[in-house]
Structures are given as structure tokens and as C-alpha cells.
Structure 1
């Protein structure tokens, strides 16, 4: 196991200049290779038909709205979620989601990324400014920090699927200038988006879910979850159909062997909290400690599989 040196990664290197925007290929042209394709997410066995002329995705139920202003008032993404198909089908359908009002101001839907065979699903709160512009999760400063921490904890990035509890960026414009300031999603917005998260988890069916922050924890475990009290614990994996409806209050955690055999949820702070912390060193050490708890479960699961 890698021993933490006690030093936080160089935060000065974490900036928007590290990430170049990607263009979209013309309609009908093959998409250029990216890390998702290399991870197997867009393999031939999972490819689905393109968007129809009417703009709807195959398998998704047709939803009509009288106007953009009226769209999203039902606060339910369920009608937009296809009943058939793999992750690529879900991703294309999510691009047209109007399940809550957040789609109106966001640049685009930011769906999950990673392999359908991922052992761990990492759930954040919502996309940030850079994620909203690029259409990919965890590509901003917090994402860069998270990936470094995963490596230090011994969790391979290729074994992870990255997503968020809410798929659109919620923000407000700064009083001076045009900078978009992150605004936490409401419980209603989180609940509206939960059908997408449940659909992703069904397709990936991971051994472990890592919830980053309070919003992600509540989306997975229910409103009784408190990250300050339950971070770093091995909590029972909920049924995907009952996602967000567990009673996590008073949960003390389960043994590693049980967690490895039946799946579990591990919660920690969101990496953006490290960037905002007065004592970044201490905050990073806490994040790393929780990630190592998850890494231990994954190692135990691998040893159990090898023994079988």
C-alpha cells in the first residue's frame, strides 16, 4: 500500500488550462477515441441506434412540453429514462432530459463516464463549471484532485465509473462579472434526477459505491444520511429500486468480508471540500483515509474471487 507522504498534491497545478475542450464529430461520423471508449464503455456490443428525426432516443418514452418554461415542472426524470439498452443508450437519452428546471440554464447534460464493468461507482454532487462546458464528469480541479487521491489510495482509475447525483450544473452568476458560481441542488432536484443514477447503477452493478459529500450520500442512502457521522464506514448496499430510501441513521458499518461479499457504500467528503478547506493537508488526509477503506474492500473482493 502506498504510504501518504503527508503532502497534498500541488493545487497550483489544478486549473482550467489543464483541460482542452473537445469538439463533437459531425453527425454520422465515428466519434474520436477517448478514455471512455478505451475503457470499453462505447464498445460495439453496446452501441445503439442514433437519435431519431424527432430528436428522441430509441427506447425512451416520448415526452412533450408546451414550452421550455413549462418543462421540468414535474421534477421527475423517470419518463426520460429508456427501459432498454446499455450505458450508451442512457447517455444519449439523458442529453434530452427535461426532468427538472435545471436543464434550462445548463450547457448540457453531464452523464457518467467509465466502463460498464467497473468495480466501483463514484458518485459526486453535480457537475461543476468545467464539467458543464465539456460534458464529462470530474474534469475540473476537484476531479483532478480526486484522481490523484484514488491513485494514492490504490484504486485504479480504470476500475471506476464516475457520475453525479444531479446531471445538470446549478449555478448563479457572480454579482460582478460573468463567473458562474456553484449552487447546491435542492432535495427536490436531487430526487428528480435519481432515476438516472439508479439506471446507471443497474447497468454497472458495482461491488462498491463511493458517495462524495452529503448530496451524493442522500441520493444513495436517503435523507437520514450524515456525512460527518458516517464517512469511512462500510454501509450496506441498497437495492437499486429502493435507492435513496434507506434509513442510514445509526448505521455502524459492516465487516469487510461482508462488504466484499454483498457490496457496500462508503462515504467521504467531496474533493471540492478539500480545495475549500482552511487546512488542506488535514482535509486531504481524511479523504485519502476514506478512499483506503474502499480500497481494502476491493482487495478483499479480488482475493475472494481468486479463491473461488
Structure 2
């Protein structure tokens, strides 16, 4: 069984974090979870509403779609480490609903301490950045070209980084065709990550 003891960052540490204001409105911090020495780490943008309530990453609608993509790509979630660039849910109220609001650059940078610790402790061979915010956080850049990183992995600090759409992007597509195309792009990137983790070149 994959080792799951002593996660790199604890929920208590995140709940005590005051590096940015997002803790004020969030229910709790959401640390990464999964196999402590995973070869593949998935990094999303931030927790969503369900993640904020449950305290675990990728347990909401986007997480369920990601599970489908992982299954289609032949990857076992239990052998991966999954986390987010920002550890608290940023939202705005729309009536009684909490709607996702993209984190600001200073919030991404404030949370980088935690992401870097997860990267150092897990020491993955491959990082899959789900969306542009995750890619910027992993690479330490203020801007990235997501499309380019989908086709060509980037070597960064001794690991390979490949980017793809966040599952929430697929969920937001209005047509079945667009949703299916986004989903297939995610699956292709996950398959590429699996090959890279095995030491097989992509392309």
C-alpha cells in the first residue's frame, strides 16, 4: 500500500497560517493528500466549496470528473499526491451560494511556502499542473502559456512539469462536444505524465 503517514503539510499548520487574508472566510485550510512518495503530483488552483467543507482536495464536482479522467488514463488515485497551489477557498457570495473567485498573484505567492514543502517532501518525478494558476505556482512565474506546456513538458528544479486543463474548465463548457474535447485533453496529459514517470519520452 502507498505510504500515507505524516503528510508534508498539516491542516493545523494551514489553519494557523496568516500569510494572506483568505483564512478569514474559509472553513479550513485544505492540505494535499495521497501517497507521500508519489511519482506523480497533481496540482490544482485552490479548494472548491466541497473541498473547503470536507477538508480534502478534489472531492467536489471537478474532483469527480478528475477521477474519471484518471481512470481513463490508467492511473490509480491512491498512488498519486494531489494538492492545490492555494490552500484556502476564495469565493464571493451569490445569494446563498459561494462562487469560486480566482486567487490573486500575491495569494499564490503567499501560499508558495506550503506548495514548495509538498514538492520537496513528496519529491515527484512529474508534476501535472491543472490550469494556468497551478502552472504559474509550480514554475514560480507570473505568466505561462498553458497550450505550449500541454504539448511539451518543462523541466524545473529536477522534475518534469506538464500542464493541462483544470477539470472545472471541462465542466464549464456549454456543449457536449466542447466538454468531451476538454476531458480528452486532460486524459491525454495524464497518460503523458504516466509515461514520463516511467521514464518514457513523450512526443
Cα deviation, 1:210-262, whole Å, max 9, x if unaligned, reads: 10001000001112312133223211023xxxxxxxxxxxxxxxxxxxxxxx5
Count of aligned residue pairs for this structure pair? 196
Please say if residues 232 and 268 of structure 1, whose CA atoms lie closer than 8 Å, have aligned partners that are also in contact. no
Tell me which of the two structures has the higher relative contact order, counting C-alpha pairs closer than 8 angstroms and 6 or more residues apart: 2
CA distance in 2, matches of 1:281, 1:298: 26
Aligned to 2:57: 137
Runs of 4+ residues deviating >4 angstroms: none
Map 1:268-287 to 2 at 5 A: 268-278=164-174, 279-287=178-186
Map 1:121-136 to 2 at 5 A: 121-136=41-56
Say if 2:162 is the partner of 1:266: yes
CA distance in 2, matches of 1:184, 1:291: 24
Map 1:146-295 to 2 at 5 A: 146-174=66-94, 177-221=95-139, 222-238=141-157, 263-278=159-174, 279-295=178-194
Please say if residues 118 and 158 of structure 1, whose CA atoms lie closer than 8 Å, have aligned partners that are also in contact. no
**Normalised TM-score (structure 1):** 0.61
CA distance in 2, matches of 1:290, 1:115: 20
Please say if residues 232 and 293 of structure 1, whose CA atoms lie closer than 8 Å, have aligned partners that are also in contact. no
> Higher helix fraction: Structure 1 or Structure 2?
2
In terms of Rg, which structure is larger? 1
Please say if residues 41 and 87 of structure 1, whose CA atoms lie closer than 8 Å, have aligned partners that are also in contact. no
CA distance in 1, matches of 2:151, 2:165: 10
Compute the RMSD of aligned alpha carbons. Answer: 1.6
Please say if residues 15 and 23 of structure 2, whose CA atoms lie closer than 8 Å, have aligned partners that are also in contact. no
Gap runs ≥5 in structure 1: 1-37, 47-85, 239-261, 302-308
Gap runs ≥5 in structure 2: none
Query: How far did residue 197 of structure 1 move?
Result: 0.1
**Normalised TM-score (structure 2):** 0.91
Cα deviation, 1:98-128, whole Å, max 9, x if unaligned, reads: 1100000000001100121111110000000
Aligned to 2:24: 104
CA distance in 1, matches of 2:47, 2:151: 23
> Higher strand fraction: Structure 1 or Structure 2?
2
CA distance in 1, matches of 2:122, 2:3: 12
CA distance in 1, matches of 2:3, 2:195: 25
